[in-house]
Structure 1
Amino acid sequence: MSVRLGILALLAEEDMYGARLRAEFEARTGGTWPLNIGQVYTTLTRLERDGLVEQASGPDDEGRITYALTDTGRAEVDGWWFTPVDRSSTPRDELVIKLALSVTAVGVDVTRVVQAQRTATLRHLRDLTTLKRSATTESGTDLAWLLVLDNLVFSAEAEVRWLDHVESTLARYSTLPRCTPAAVVGHDSDRTQVRR
């Protein structure tokens, strides 16, 4: 998630200082993506430089500066709500990179790598399911936290399905020789398009 846009969205509700922005961001996302306070202030500095926020008040007794959205910042947030998230650029995923490299590495038991990850992902899924159960049984369910948990559960379930697929693909191709890294380079120029 873009911290920049998250901060702008919070400032669209009311003026806030950095530590409060951090606390609000973490509370509304269930602490799933904790923010470093330095990251918040660095982002605020950039937003101010770009004309999206401005200081609403000077330092208070505790040295806190309150920030407010500018009209340009408000337009940015309003546009963000209804602009689909761009999924065309593929983010780096450590697990995918690890498995892609492991199938070409000499002496690596790829099936063992897959099994270790599946065990960890299933454990994570169990923990998320427990969290979700407790989130829905408490009075005054926090809808934002519930949606974040749902996303994490669906992602973990998808990862388990993908790992099952990887394992069946490995079994299907187990009789073929592994490609060496030198053989893969430049093999298919279409794959370069996906990597970007």
Structure 2
Amino acid sequence: MSIKFGLLALLRSEPKYGYQLRGEFEAATGSTWPLNIGQVYTTLTRLERDGLVRPAGEADGKVRYEITEAGRTEVAGWFDTPVAREDRPRDELAIKLALALTVPGIDVAAVVQHQRAATMTSLQELTRLKRSAKPDEWSWQLVVESMIFAAEAEIRWLDHCEAMMSRHRRSGHTATTPTADPADHVEKTDQVRR
């Protein structure tokens, strides 16, 4: 998630200090994505440079920031715009498995099993965390549930990968580095997006 939009969203109600923003962000997300205070102040500096926030007073050497009209427009646009799958960070696990299939000497089944065990452990921890939530902490419950759904989906995908590898072994195919023209891949990817 973009820290920029998180801070702008939190500033919509009233001016705040950097430490206050960090605390409110972590409270809203149940500290599942802890913020470094340096990230907060670096982002606030950029937001000020871009005219999206401005200083709103100072006390004890701490600056309070308030959102500008341009900042309100920016964060409203963010809330109104769906998050595109292409805008999310690259999936390191998918890249790891794709490379494991092409690099000689890698036990791909072991890579899948290690990941499944780690994801199951994470899923159990997230489920315990969800059970311990108080009824009024529903904003971060949504975040935890999103992480639970992602972990469940990852386990299903790992099952699919394992089944696919098993089918390929039975049919006598081996994983090899594709020799097709990279332009063919780009064309296929564009067709899928349409």
Q: CA deviation at 1:21?
A: 0.7
Q: 1:72 aligns with which of 70, 80, 85?
A: 70
- For each residue in 1:63-91, what CA deviation from the matched residue of structure 2 results, as whole angstroms up to 9, or x when unmatched? 10000011111111222222211223453
1:29 correspondence with 2:29: yes
Which position in structure 2 is the counterpart of 1:152? 147
Q: Distance in 2 between matches of 1:185 and 1:66?
A: 55
**Greater CA drift, 44-53 or 89-98:** 89-98
Structure 1 stretches lacking a partner, 5+ long:
none
Which position in structure 1 is the counterpart of 2:187? 190
Q: Distance in 2 between matches of 1:189 and 1:13?
A: 45
Q: Distance in 1 between matches of 2:43 and 2:158?
A: 37
Q: Distance in 2 between matches of 1:180 and 1:79?
A: 42
- For each residue in 1:12-70, what CA deviation from the matched residue of structure 2 results, as whole angstroms up to 9, or x when unmatched? 01100111111111111011111111111111111101111000003x12x10000011
Cα root mean square deviation, aligned: 1.9
Q: 2:130 aligns with which of 124, 132, 135?
A: 132
Which position in structure 2 is the counterpart of 1:176? 173
Which position in structure 2 is the counterpart of 1:164? 159
Q: CA deviation at 1:191?
A: 5.3
* 1:23-102 mapped onto 2 (5 Å cutoff): 23-58=23-58, 60-61=59-60, 63-89=61-87, 91-102=89-100
**Percent sequence identity over aligned pairs:** 55
1:107 alignment partner, SS class: coil
Q: CA deviation at 1:152?
A: 0.5
Q: Distance in 1 between matches of 2:96 and 2:180?
A: 16
Q: Distance in 1 between matches of 2:151 and 2:97?
A: 17
| Change in CA separation of 1:83 and 1:189 when aligned onto 2, cut-off 3 Å | closer
| Change in CA separation of 1:118 and 1:83 when aligned onto 2, cut-off 3 Å | same
Q: Distance in 2 between matches of 1:185 and 1:149?
A: 42
Structure 2 stretches lacking a partner, 5+ long:
none
Which position in structure 2 is the counterpart of 1:114? 112
2:62 alignment partner, SS class: coil
Q: CA deviation at 1:178?
A: 2.3
Which one-letter code corresponds to 2:19 in the other structure?
A: A
| Change in CA separation of 1:54 and 1:189 when aligned onto 2, cut-off 3 Å | closer
| Change in CA separation of 1:89 and 1:171 when aligned onto 2, cut-off 3 Å | same
Which position in structure 1 is the counterpart of 2:16? 16
Q: CA deviation at 1:146?
A: 0.8
Q: Distance in 2 between matches of 1:124 and 1:11?
A: 32
Q: Distance in 2 between matches of 1:81 and 1:71?
A: 15
Q: Distance in 2 between matches of 1:191 and 1:101?
A: 20
2:9 alignment partner, SS class: helix
Q: CA deviation at 1:184?
A: 5.7
TM-score calculated relative to the size of structure 1: 0.89
Q: Distance in 1 between matches of 2:21 and 2:143?
A: 19
